[in-house]
Amino acid sequence: MVSVHTSPLAQPGTGDAGGMNVYVLNTARELARAGVEVEIFTRATSSDEAPTVEAEPGVLVHHVPAGPFEGLSKNDLPTQLCAFTGGLLRAEAHRRPGHYDLIHAHYWLSGQAGWVAAERWGVPLVQTFHTLAKVKNAGLAEGDSPEPYTRVIGEEQVVSEADLLIANTAAEAAELQGHYGAPEGRIAVVHPGVDLGVFRPGDRTAAREALNLPQGALVVAFVGRIQPAKAPDVLLRGLARLREQDPELSEKIVPVFVGGPSNTDPYWLPRLAWELGLGDTVQWRSPRSGEALAQVYRAADVVAVPSHNESFGLVALEAQATGTPVVAAKVGGLPTAVAEGRSGLLVDSHSADDWADALRKILGDTSLRADLAGNARTHAALFSWRETATGIRSSYRRAAESHATGRLQSAC
């Protein structure tokens, strides 16, 4: 696996680390448990990192030096693709011929490096984009910077060269076809999963005690990177509008934001909270994962996912796995991750009025909230990382067959 811009060992929720980290690490683990040896190549970002780390038996993470350890944003990394690809090729050169059977690249930067390595080694290239530039630019947050044209070109090249593209949902598969001209026969749809052992229902009272949250409050949680694309400001504006419309209900609400800044002014969201008159009610918490993150979900009455775009929406799935309903934007893969009207509510816009309406509907109706919570775990249980890995292994076989057929046709 190639994951250039973010390590699967990094803490999700800050910088460039997010759902892709969770996806890469968990699929690698499940593949290893099924007998597939996985080596993950990522760019080294600290001199303290060991060159190679065993994440667990069967999963190695290689930190490839490429450019300065710190100070490079994701948009700077195309300048280091040559150095990274060189490191990737050198690693294979120390192995016996044919050591690697297949390359699975994550994000477009990895696809560029994987494309070169796949041609050099004569192996199939499987690509998962996680996000697409043309889709992000079509639903850009106000004030957010569009994805550069170099990324669009890079994605088009990888789509053209990959033996197989793995899409998270049927909606993403349609985007690959519509925006990038990807042939339907070279796309496999494999849903991401959730760790149903870690993210499980538990004691809400104990969770609130652990997080020092008031027991009688209505807790609304946001989990993710604090950046315009994730739209935490949309949630704040919806809460501010709700306070104007229903002050009595709003007095009970405690918003909790769990995450860190991602290539943005670290104070932009707290400033907005104070400007909207919510500064004294919002609680800010640092990024976390595993059981500590599950406690956040259990403590919440509802988890909000207002993103402008999500290829899937792992936060929504994790929250539902703990038995907490979700209010999410009706974009990208979220209509798959959330069962509308059964495990959560979907909002068809990012307007303050619509978000206020949705929040009032779920927070003001105890019976509805209980019904959604009762179905949330059942819906989340349809997704697991083991099932995801099974789908990925099937995709690998398809890619290998396609690659072998293509080489035979070329030889003829």
322 is in an annotated binding site: no
Residue 189 forms beta bridges with which residues?
Answer: 167
Asked if residues 232 and 261 have their Cβ atoms less than 8 Å apart, the reply is no
CA distance 117 to 409: 21
Q: Is 230 annotated as a binding residue?
A: yes
Is 231 marked as a binding-site residue?
no
Q: Is 309 part of any known ligand binding site?
A: no
Q: Is 18 annotated as a binding residue?
A: yes
300 is in an annotated binding site: yes
297 marked among binding-site residues: yes
Report the candidate in 39, 96, 91, 104 with the shortest Cα–Cα distance to residue 65: 91
Is 353 annotated for ligand binding? no
d(CA 261, CA 205): 29
Spell 322-341 as b/e; 16+ CB within 10 A means b: bbbbbbbbebbbbbbbbbee
270 among annotated binding-site residues: no
251 is in an annotated binding site: no
Nearest CA to 154 among 227, 229, 86, 74?
A: 74
Residues 6+ apart with CB under 8 A from 205: 215
Is 16 one of the annotated binding-site residues?
yes
Q: Is residue 112 helix, strand or coil?
A: helix
Cβ neighbors of 307 (< 8 A, separation 6 or more) are 224, 229, 230, 231, 313, 328, 329, 331, 332, 334
Q: Is 45 labelled as part of a ligand binding site?
A: no
Which amino acid type is present at position 2?
V
Tell me the chain's radius of gyration from C-alpha atoms: 22
Calpha distance 109→157 (Å, rounded): 11
Question: Is 310 marked as binding a ligand?
Answer: yes
Residue ranges of the binding site: 5, 11-12, 16-21, 74, 107, 131, 151, 225, 230, 288, 297-298, 300, 310, 318, 324
Residue ranges of the binding site for Mg(2+): 297-298, 300, 324
Residue ranges of the binding site for 1D-myo-inositol 3-phosphate: 5, 16-21, 74, 107, 131, 151
Residue ranges of the binding site for UDP-N-acetyl-alpha-D-glucosamine: 11-12, 19, 225, 230, 288, 310, 318
